[in-house]
Structure 1
Amino acid sequence: MDSIYLDAFKIQDPCDGRRKLFHRRQRTYIEHRMADLFAPDPQDIPAPAAGPLADRLRPQSLEEVVGQRHLTGPDGAIGRMVAAGKLGSIILWGPPGTGKTTIARLLADAVGMRFESISAVFSGVADLKKVFAAARDHRRMGEKTVLFVDEIHRFNRAQQDGFLPYVEDGTVVLVGATTENPSFELNAALLSRAQVLILNRLDASAMEELLARAEAIEAKPLPLDENARAALVASADGDGRFLLNQVETLFSVAGAERLDAAGLSALLHRRMAVYDKDREGHYNLISALHKSLRGSDPQAALYYLARMLTAGEEPLYVLRRITRFASEDIGLADPQALVQCIAAREAYDFLGSPEGELAIVQACLYCATAPKSNAAYKAMGKAWKTAKETGSLMPPKNILNAPTRLMKDIGYGKNYAYDHDAEDGFSGDNYWPEEMAPQTFYAPVERGFEAKIAERIAHWNRLRGERG
């Protein structure tokens, strides 16, 4: 801007805050007016080329958002906010391509607030300071700001703490978007000031609605038969943006002849399932595998095992978890379960992938079909707890070794009952510290091999009672 327009508004008294604010606003007004005067005529600007299909189909109202009716409907959290005209800070948690960015923008429009968007991937502290300063200026003029932060989990803990004062004083209404579990990735202080809203993975009906909208805007049907259409929806894995990108490719390169599923597969690359080995998808699948094994469902267990291994999970990690299961959930109900897992590890080390993965499958199926018992797992917890509580109680002297004369003189090993010399190989002696009553930690179940163990323990308890 020409300096002649600015000199008249130079601040004469820097100590006068009100005059300073007045001149700053006047300067901003002149800058905007000058920009309007010298702006090119819209008719002289060439029309932009049509944007991507996903952008052209972006909903213009919350009612047009597909697959998230539980949030945007009249009874949903977002629907109630819009009806009340009041917006609180929220965290939108959901898979990719489910409408998080679109919902944030439409939500700001619905309540008449200014919308500001940043990405945690490309922004730093300096960018945040500019955003907060601008939001504060607009707030002074009576305009509230919705700050949308995409991939908010990418900010570190200190950066997340930086939002707190601006959220608390109302400078911004924070709308964060994340594909990761907020419980693990966001500060507790930030979560306590925001409502977490969970977006669903788009189901088949929502995806079909997107396909219908795409066909309407392109004014032609997709060149796919029924099976290929279903395969296209399945390949998107609940990601609406990915689906529309695939549709755009089909409209661009496919001919007039309808494709079957095989033709579609040849034309489009198949999408790999979403799976981050260090994030929530990893823990969800290993949890599902463990629960399926515990529930004696070999088919489901094999499915989740396949999900992990085909997504690139380290096979030995999965086998370690199955081995842990063999002790935790099977134990002595079938002692061979642990043997199978150790053998699978040796086989995998010997064969490598992919041949060695069959041994992991065998261990998985063995554990899924074995009788279940967590008696050993529960016994461990009880024993560990009691050991910590009782401290360093001395065992009874009769079962202590006496390698020296002094130890013999004070009673170590005295009157020890050697079980092999007793009837039935069982003396029934007391092995607990004198200050402690006998405890029961291990209670075998009436399943598998543990049923026989239960019989033995009951027999020994009976003999112990008879022999005092």
Structure 2
Amino acid sequence: MSPAPEDTLFSTAGLETVPAGPLADRLRPKTLDDVIGQDHLLKDGGPLARMVQVKRLPSLILWGPPGTGKTSIARLLADATDLHFAPLSAVFSGVADLRKVFDEARKRRAAGQATLLFVDEIHRFNRAQQDGFLPYVEDGTVVLVGATTENPSFALNSALLSRATVIVLHRLDDAALEALLARAEAEESRALPLTADARAALRAMADGDGRYLLNMAEQIFTLHGDEILDPAGLAESLQKRAPLYDKGQEEHYNLISALHKSMRGSDCDAALYWLARMLIGGEDPLYIARRIVRFAAEDVGMADPNALLQALAAKEMYDFLGSPEGELGLVQAVIYLATAPKSNAAYKAAGASKRAAREHGSLMPPMHILNAPTKMMKSLGYSDGYAYDHDAPEGFSGQNYFPDGMDRQQFYRPVERGFEREIVKRLEYWHRLRQRRAGTDSASGDSDDA
């Protein structure tokens, strides 16, 4: 291929041509086969591949992290299905822009061409604006393809969701990011000036975002020439990116759930990782502390009664010291709770006892355990027959404390782990004594010790 006239002119003058645009834009995929990291959607058998094969495209919601190809895929889907591509950003558009798009789409439809309306960050439209799409989607004026980084279940109207297929894009894995770097090097006709370790660090810094990776690569190409950078030099050259984390959105709940379940699964190291992710992402440490305290009672419980004290101490330490020193208390509490014996018996007992309380209504306590501070109350039988447990043999009277008319129930069922092993022994001992007091224990002369 002969060089363009402007290329010849620049080279004759000893100058280089200016690239046509940013590296990320120059490397936008030209066909769906060029898209990296989304094989589950675009290769044989994938949902988007099947739609393209039959050239029938329903309205779609493309849900995935930044830099995973949502805009490129939407544009290429339009090309592959012979639709006019009409892009719109929810950040910069209002009602007037929508009216204009719909009017133009209606004219194109009358002329025999359908329109793919691509709405970037569609979750930023309010619910009334989202409802405004419905008639145009239903009558076929547009095929709506919305892109969002937020969970559509929370960010979009149910009416709009019911008319669209949600397509989930994956964050780019290490192999996909490496493939992007190889394309960047081919485009620039030279290798990135990085050691192998620095190259791996660059991929890690991208955090699954292909666009961010290419922007960093372009910065390295521009600023460093042939200077080989190691990880330290790379870190000094590029501003380190904080992990993706929005403490007001779904990621907030995903990560606290990951911390909770890692501690429940006794995986101390995974729990510390999720704790670090939240702290680095800017989560309020006191929110984490509240969840740690809850975990101590819900998932460790009486298997280790000290767990709750450790969790509360961590909260107090953070209150006293603040960040970053106080965060060490959270670390210690997470380690303690993740490695503690686990029991949710107290948590289950709370739920069971509440259900029984609702089921049985307003039953009065039995008369023998009611105080009788007046003569009238004594005459009515209040406290009559009450057995003072400290005066009973073994310090246990075995009296009934449930309401009259309600059978005795067992809400708390401790497990054979940690301190609850001892509680099991005590409950079994008192059960035998209770049976004996009621005259149902046929054994005699047993020597039971609590």
For 2:140 and 2:300, how far apart are their aligned partners in 1? Answer: 55
Task: Select the residue among 336, 341, 349 that pairs with 1:379.
Answer: 349
Task: Select the residue among 259, 271, 278 that pairs with 2:248.
Answer: 278
For 1:218 and 1:235, how far apart are their aligned partners in 2? Answer: 21
Task: Select the residue among 213, 236, 241 that pairs with 1:243.
Answer: 213
Secondary structure of 1:197's aligned partner = strand
Does residue 164 of the first structure (1) align with residue 122 of the second (2)? no
Q: What is the letter of the counterpart of residue 456 of structure 1? A: R
Does residue 345 of the first structure (1) align with residue 312 of the second (2)? no
For 2:282 and 2:216, how far apart are their aligned partners in 1? Answer: 24
Task: Name the structure 1 match of 2:325.
Answer: 355
For 2:48 and 2:436, how far apart are their aligned partners in 1? Answer: 72
Does residue 253 of the first structure (1) align with residue 223 of the second (2)? yes
| 54-63 vs 222-231, which moves further | 222-231
Task: Select the residue among 131, 135, 154 that pairs with 2:105.
Answer: 135
Q: Aligned runs of 1:18-417 on 2, under 5 Å?
A: 50-417=20-387
For 1:234 and 1:48, how far apart are their aligned partners in 2? Answer: 30
Q: Aligned runs of 1:436-455 on 2, under 5 Å?
A: 436-455=406-425
- Report the Cα offset of residue 410 of structure 1: 2.0
| 317-326 vs 133-142, which moves further | 133-142
For 2:287 and 2:250, how far apart are their aligned partners in 1? Answer: 16
Task: Name the structure 2 match of 1:463.
Answer: 433
- Report the Cα offset of residue 48 of structure 1: 9.1
Secondary structure of 1:448's aligned partner = coil
For 2:330 and 2:195, how far apart are their aligned partners in 1? Answer: 39
Query: How many residue pairs align between the two structures?
Result: 422
Secondary structure of 2:85's aligned partner = strand
For 2:241 and 2:18, how far apart are their aligned partners in 1? Answer: 31
For 1:230 and 1:377, how far apart are their aligned partners in 2? Answer: 45
- Report the Cα offset of residue 432 of structure 1: 1.2
For 1:48 and 1:339, how far apart are their aligned partners in 2? Answer: 65
Secondary structure of 1:451's aligned partner = helix
| 297-306 vs 346-355, which moves further | 346-355
For 1:111 and 1:251, how far apart are their aligned partners in 2? Answer: 37
Task: Give a deviation string over 1:15-34, Cα, whole Å, max 9, x none.
Answer: xxxxxxxxxxxxxxxxxxxx
Task: Give a deviation string over 1:68-114, Cα, whole Å, max 9, x none.
Answer: 01001121110000001100011111000000000001001100011
- Report the Cα offset of residue 255 of structure 1: 2.2
- Report the Cα offset of residue 251 of structure 1: 1.1
Q: What is the letter of the counterpart of residue 386 of structure 1? A: A
Task: Give a deviation string over 1:334-381, Cα, whole Å, max 9, x none.
Answer: 000000111112222222221111111111111011100000011111
Q: What is the letter of the counterpart of residue 460 of structure 1? A: W
For 1:204 and 1:192, how far apart are their aligned partners in 2? Answer: 34
Secondary structure of 2:429's aligned partner = helix
Q: What is the letter of the counterpart of residue 356 of structure 1? A: G
For structure 2, the 5+ residue unaligned runs are 1-16, 439-450
Task: Give a deviation string over 1:260-292, Cα, whole Å, max 9, x none.
Answer: 212211211111111111111111111111111
For 1:184 and 1:104, how far apart are their aligned partners in 2? Answer: 22
For structure 1, the 5+ residue unaligned runs are 1-46
- Report the Cα offset of residue 404 of structure 1: 2.7
- Report the Cα offset of residue 49 of structure 1: 5.9
Q: Percent identity over the alignment?
A: 66
For 1:398 and 1:101, how far apart are their aligned partners in 2? Answer: 75
For 2:407 and 2:160, how far apart are their aligned partners in 1? Answer: 50
Secondary structure of 1:146's aligned partner = strand
For 2:68 and 2:131, how far apart are their aligned partners in 1? Answer: 27
- Report the Cα offset of residue 170 of structure 1: 1.1
- Report the Cα offset of residue 297 of structure 1: 1.1
Q: What is the letter of the counterpart of residue 261 of structure 2? A: K
For 2:383 and 2:53, how far apart are their aligned partners in 1? Answer: 82
For 1:48 and 1:77, how far apart are their aligned partners in 2? Answer: 40
For 1:73 and 1:90, how far apart are their aligned partners in 2? Answer: 18
Task: Give a deviation string over 1:176-200, Cα, whole Å, max 9, x none.
Answer: 1110111111111111111111101
| 189-198 vs 370-379, which moves further | 189-198
Q: What is the letter of the counterpart of residue 430 of structure 2? A: W
Task: Give a deviation string over 1:37-86, Cα, whole Å, max 9, x none.
Answer: xxxxxxxxxx9961111111000110000000100112111000000110
Secondary structure of 1:277's aligned partner = coil
Task: Name the structure 1 match of 2:392.
Answer: 422
Judging changes above 3 Å, is the alpha-carbon distance between structure 1 residues 80 and 343 closer, same or farther for their aligned structure 2 residues?
Answer: same
- Report the Cα offset of residue 459 of structure 1: 0.7
For 1:92 and 1:222, how far apart are their aligned partners in 2? Answer: 32
Q: What is the letter of the counterpart of residue 217 of structure 1? A: E
For 1:360 and 1:313, how far apart are their aligned partners in 2? Answer: 13
For 1:187 and 1:401, how far apart are their aligned partners in 2? Answer: 58
Secondary structure of 1:364's aligned partner = helix
Q: What is the letter of the counterpart of residue 443 of structure 1? A: R
Secondary structure of 2:419's aligned partner = helix
